[in-house]
Every structure is written in C-alpha cells, then in structure tokens.
Amino acid sequence: MSNEATVHGHSEVTTHEVHHDDHHGHHHQDTFITKYIFSQDHKMIGKQFLITGIVWAIIGGLFSVLFRLQLGFPDQSFPILEDLLGSKWAAGGKIQPEFYYALVTMHGTVLVFFVLTAGLSGTFANLLIPLQIGARDMASPFMNMLSYWFFFLASIVMISSLFVQTGPASGGWTSYPPLSALGDASEGSKAGMDLWLVSMALFVVSSLLGGLNYIATILNMRTKGMTMTRLPLTIWALFFTAVLGVLSFPVLFSGFILLLFDRHAGTSFYLSDIFLASTQKPLPNEGGSAILYQHLFWFLGHPEVYIILLPAMGMASEILSTNSRKPIFGYMAMIASLFAICVLAFLVWAHHMFVTGLNPFLGSFFVLLTLLIAVPSAIKVFNWLTTIWRGNIRFTPGMLFALGFISMFISGGLTGIFLGNSTLDIHLHDTMFVIAHFHIVMGVASFFGMFAGVYHWFPKMFGRYLNNTLAYIHFWITLVGAYLIFWPMHYEGLAGMPRRYLDVSGWVSFNQFDGLNRFISIVSIIVFAVQLLFVFNFFYSIFKGRRVKTPNPWGSNTLEWTTPINPGHGNWEGEIPEVHRWAYDYGKDGRDFIPQTEPVSATESKH
C-alpha cells in the first residue's frame, strides 16, 4: 500500500512537484565536508545522530543476542563464537563469564546512552525544534555541531574500549563501586573502566552542549505568533528532556570525577573496609561510602529514563493526533503532566536503592513520590486513548508504532507500580521482573516512539518514503516479539529467578524455565533480525525510496511541512511563516486539517 493511498484514500493523486531539490542555490558553496561532515545545519546534524545511533543500536542489540545465547542455551557450545570472538572470550564456543558481564554492561550503556539518549533526543530535537517552532536553525549551530562531535568522540572511545586486552567495562551499566573502583577486582575494572568513564564524560559534554542549545532555541527563536501554548507537544517534550539533561548529567559527572580519583589517586570517596579476595589483601581505604555513588548515579539515572521516554511521548502525541485526524485531547493537561513528570523525576531516584540498606523510613518517602508519577503518566495515557477514540485513524507505519508505544507504556508502567513499593521491591529487585519492567516501559516503548518518529519524519529528512510493506512486517514482528520476550520474564522474576546471572541451571527451582529461556532467546534473535530489515529499509529508502511528491504528505498542521520537500540550510525559502493557531486543528468545521499558518477566520468555531 502506498503512503498516498494510506493517507488520502483512493481519490487523491498528486503528481506535480511543488518544489525542486536545488532551490537553495543562493547559499554559499557547500563542500562535501561542510555539508555532510562538519555540517552546522540542524537537519544534517539530526541525521548524523540518527545514523550513529543506528550503528550503535546494531552493536548493542547484537550484544544482547550473544548473551541471550548463553541464557537460553547454557549447556550448549557454539563453535562459531570462538571463531568470531577468539578463544579468550568464547573458549570452546561458550561465552566466558567475564565476557558475559562485559556484554550486559555494554548492552546497557550503549542502548541507554548512545542509542536512546543521543540517537533519540539528539536526532529529533535537532530535526524538529527549528522546523516546528519556525526557526532557520538552532540558536548556536556551531555548538550544535560540537555536540555531535563530542558524541562521536565518546563513541570512538567507547568502541575502542571493546578492543583493549582486558576487555571493556563489565561492572554493569551503573558501574557501582567498589567493583568499578578497584582495578584488581576484575578484568573489566581495568583499562576498560577508564575508557568507559572518559567516554561517558565526553558524552555528558555532548549532552550539555545539545541541551543548552535546545532550551535556548525553544525559548528564544519561536516564530511570530508561536506562543508557548501553540507549540506542538513534541517541542514541549523535547524542552523538558533538555531541562532534565542539563540539570542531572552534571551530578553524574561529579560522581565520575570522584570515581576516577578513587581509581587512580588513592582516595576513599566510595571505599571503606575492603578485603580484596583476588590479591588476598586488605585495602587501607576507610571512611568512604559506596552508597554515595549510587545516590549520585541515580540522581542522573532516574531523570535519564525520562530523558529517554519524554521525546517518545511527545512524538507519539503528535503522530497520534495527526493520524487520528482529531485534536490532541487535553493539550494543557499534557503539558502539565510533562512538567509534573519532569519535577518528580528528580525526587524519586532512591527507589533504585531500596535494597542497598537505605533507611526504610526514608524509603517510604520515595515510595510515595514514585507512586505519584503514576498520576501524570495515567493522564497522558488517557489523553492518548481519548485522542484516538472515534478518530478517523490512518494506520500508517508511524501511527502503528505510536499505538505500540502506548501499549508498551501501559504494560510496562503498571509493573512500575509493583516495583515502586519498597516491600515488594525487596523480593523483586534482583530478579528478571525488573528486566521485564524497564525493558518494556523504557527500552521498547522508547524504541517504538523512535520508530514512529523515523517513519513519520523520514519524508522530511530525505524527501522519500520508507517502504511500507517492510515497515508493517517490522512493526508486527517487533510488537509481538517484544511481548513474547519480556512478558514471560515477569513470571520468572516473580518466581525469584535472579537477573545478571550467567547461568541459573544450578538451581533446581529454575529448571522449569529452561524451555522458556530458550524460547525467549529464539524470539530475541528473530526480533533482532527484523531490526536489520528496518536498517536495510532505512538505507535503501534514503537512495531508492519512493519520492515524496507533496510538501505535506500526512496532511499535518505543523510548520515543518510548510518547508520545501528537501529544505536547504535555513529551512524556508522566503519569510518564515507566521503562526496563528495551535497545532491540532484537525477535523474542525468540516475541514480535515487547518495548518498553523492559517489565520483564524471570523466564522470559525471556538474549541
């Protein structure tokens, strides 16, 4: 089915090209380097983030396939692994324990930071902020470019850590001391850990440069008439995302500096009273607190999950409304709940630490604040559902992924209520239940938001469509597969099956899950293969996809669709359009949609 057919039914066929590709000839000469590499055009930087993110997603996803092989088939060996990875990591075709921990650590780090932070908000904040608020570019295109290149540097350092002799960091994506602070404690705490810290510090710089730019651009550069309450919800979501990043990453940065000193300068910020089994030596450190690191880490770590989730929420809001041909339900309530989530995100970090020995009295406050997040989250869910309620839904690939996002967010959000209770968390915390919860609510849901965004804005990015057939295959297998992978993990977790373990076959009580584990592993390989299908679709369609023939293929109200099909640097050819209304006038007064640029007429009905 073609996109035009999906969007316009059978009747409308647009044939004329409204704009040509090469209209921006009046710009100064762009060389290959200034146009594609050191570009200061926000659209190109967005694409750079996206493509780097895709590369990282393949790497991070492949890691999960590797350790799922171990979890699903603990007693089998795969000789091909030894051929590919060498005898140090996969001796005899079996994944070695050190390597297993390196894999899970890198899987977490890569997907949380490099894919779902940089790849998601880096891509769409860059692409959408100037286009949707009506600006020619970011406030500081140069800093914006630096933001990408710091991310690139961070990527290089992280990649190189995979190839050092002692292997990459392997103490978990949270890198808790004392393990991460003591090089003698494990292979993964040696050079790999230093590279991890350096890479993450560069990442913080990148995120700061980007975030400052996003905030300044949204506040300062809105076009005439674009009041804050006329902004599309994508922009509101990206705004709060940037605020969260600017205020929480520096705390992580401080935590990392203290950790570096503990590693190399003989300090005891996080260390106290340690006897190291590997060297049979007591360490002189005293007075430090390992819990301190956890506080510093989770002060970022919790806002981080909203840094990941909010852009997906914003894009889903936009795509659901556009493709239901109905105004978003409860626009102000959406903004208010984004704001509430943003504030609460800073007040709940210790719910990751209920089992660390935190004072139970203190824990009860964090339980209360954590459960409070259910309120704005539920408001958003009900608003999405009411938006599509009785809508004239067009099942474009973007819309399907946005719907899938809601489904994932509900399923994963509900188990969050279980885990937010400190008493239940004592049982569930170190089990597969937690894996199931956060993968569904944060990982898969955000991925669905990201896919929705890619399918929806691909025509804006490249002037071509993604292939729909492949898109539908991608959607259905990913949706069904994600549930098949993560749903059973809830049962395993409730039964007490621990997470992080290399092999649980030594416990008779978990033998009942052998078949289930194999099943999960097989499905995850299938789902990974389908993501490669998407990657193929993505790159194929950049060059060979069907051309977009009309500037506004989805019949959308927002400003990015008033630019030429392939906008040059500067986005609009003439004046920047003025905005006269909010972004959600769909199905109003008998009209399918009314773009933001159209003045409000005297006869128009009120909302």
Nearer to other proteins, 231 or 400 (CB): 231
Nearer to other proteins, 256 or 354 (CB): 256
> Residues 120, 450: contact at Cβ < 8 Å?
yes
Segment contacting other proteins by CB under 8 A, of 53-61, 75-83, 287-295, 502-510: 287-295
Hey, CA dihedral for 528, 530, 536, 539, is it positive or negative?
A: negative
Among 8, 43, 190, 230, indicate the residue that binds other proteins (CB under 8 A): 230
| Stretch 558-597 residues interacting with other proteins (CB under 8 A) | 578-582, 584
C-alpha neighbours within 13 Å on the C-beta side of residue 249: 22
Q: How far apart are CA 250 and CA 34, in angstroms?
A: 31
* 399 touches other proteins by CB under 8 A: no
C-alpha neighbours within 13 Å on the C-beta side of residue 307: 30
Nearer to other proteins, 52 or 213 (CB): 213
* 247 touches other proteins by CB under 8 A: yes
**Minimal distance in Å, beta carbon 288 to other proteins?**
7
* 347 touches other proteins by CB under 8 A: no
> Residues 389, 339: contact at Cβ < 8 Å?
no
* 202 touches other proteins by CB under 8 A: no
**Minimal distance in Å, beta carbon 291 to other proteins?**
9
Distances (CA, A) of 174 to 103, 106, 169, 437, 462: 14, 11, 10, 17, 37
Pairing of strands 591-593, 586-588: antiparallel
**Minimal distance in Å, beta carbon 409 to other proteins?**
24
* 222 touches other proteins by CB under 8 A: yes
* 227 touches other proteins by CB under 8 A: yes
**Minimal distance in Å, beta carbon 89 to other proteins?**
34
**Minimal distance in Å, beta carbon 355 to other proteins?**
19
**Minimal distance in Å, beta carbon 260 to other proteins?**
10
Among 34, 77, 160, 267, indicate the residue that binds other proteins (CB under 8 A): 267
* 530 touches other proteins by CB under 8 A: no
Q: Is 220 exposed, middle or buried (0-12, 13-18, 19+ CB in 10 A)?
A: exposed
H-helix or E-strand spanning residue 109: helix 97-109
Q: Is 511 exposed, middle or buried (0-12, 13-18, 19+ CB in 10 A)?
A: exposed
CB atoms within 10 A of CB 35: 15
Which two tokens mark 315?
């894009």
Among 68, 94, 295, 437, indicate the residue that binds other proteins (CB under 8 A): 295
Give the amino acid at 59. I
Among 120, 154, 237, 296, indicate the residue that binds other proteins (CB under 8 A): 296
Nearer to other proteins, 398 or 577 (CB): 577
Segment contacting other proteins by CB under 8 A, of 247-255, 315-323, 395-403, 505-513: 247-255
Segment contacting other proteins by CB under 8 A, of 14-22, 178-186, 257-265, 453-461: 257-265
Q: How far apart are CA 123 and CA 116, in angstroms?
A: 10
Site size for other proteins, by CB under 8 A? 61
* 246 touches other proteins by CB under 8 A: yes
**Minimal distance in Å, beta carbon 219 to other proteins?**
6
**Dihedral through CA 528, CA 530, CA 533, CA 539, nearest 10?**
-60
**Minimal distance in Å, beta carbon 504 to other proteins?**
36
| Stretch 132-161 residues interacting with other proteins (CB under 8 A) | 133-134, 139-140, 143
DSSP 147-161: HHHHHHHHHHHHHHH
CB atoms within 10 A of CB 405: 27
Nearer to other proteins, 257 or 495 (CB): 257
Q: Residue 115 carries which DSSP code?
A: I
What does the chain come to in residues?
607
* 223 touches other proteins by CB under 8 A: yes
Q: What contacts 485, CB < 8 A, 6 or more positions away?
A: 439, 520, 523, 524, 527
| Stretch 314-333 residues interacting with other proteins (CB under 8 A) | 327, 331-332
* 380 touches other proteins by CB under 8 A: no
> Among the residues of 232-353, which ranges form H helices?
233-264, 290-324, 331-345
Among 13, 18, 84, 228, indicate the residue that binds other proteins (CB under 8 A): 228
Among 217, 467, 537, 597, indicate the residue that binds other proteins (CB under 8 A): 217
Nearer to other proteins, 253 or 510 (CB): 253
Q: What contacts 451, CB < 8 A, 6 or more positions away?
A: 397, 401, 474, 475, 478, 534
**Minimal distance in Å, beta carbon 553 to other proteins?**
24
* 394 touches other proteins by CB under 8 A: no
Segment contacting other proteins by CB under 8 A, of 18-26, 216-224, 309-317, 405-413: 216-224
| Stretch 66-105 residues interacting with other proteins (CB under 8 A) | none
* 263 touches other proteins by CB under 8 A: no
Among the listed residues 207, 199, 195, 205, the one whose alpha carbon sits nearest the alpha carbon of residue 304? 207
Among 56, 196, 249, 458, indicate the residue that binds other proteins (CB under 8 A): 249
> Among the residues of 10-91, which ranges form H helices?
32, 42-72, 79-89
List the Cα angle 602/605/607 in 5-degree steps.
130
Q: Is 525 exposed, middle or buried (0-12, 13-18, 19+ CB in 10 A)?
A: middle
Nearer to other proteins, 215 or 466 (CB): 215
DSSP 187-224: GGGSHHHHHHHHHHHHHHHHHHHHHHHHHHHHHH-PPT
* 198 touches other proteins by CB under 8 A: no
- Note the residues at the interface with other proteins (CB under 8 A): 133-134, 139-140, 143, 208, 211-213, 215-217, 219-230, 246-251, 253-255, 257-258, 261, 265-269, 285-289, 292, 295-296, 299, 327, 331-332, 578-582, 584, 606-607
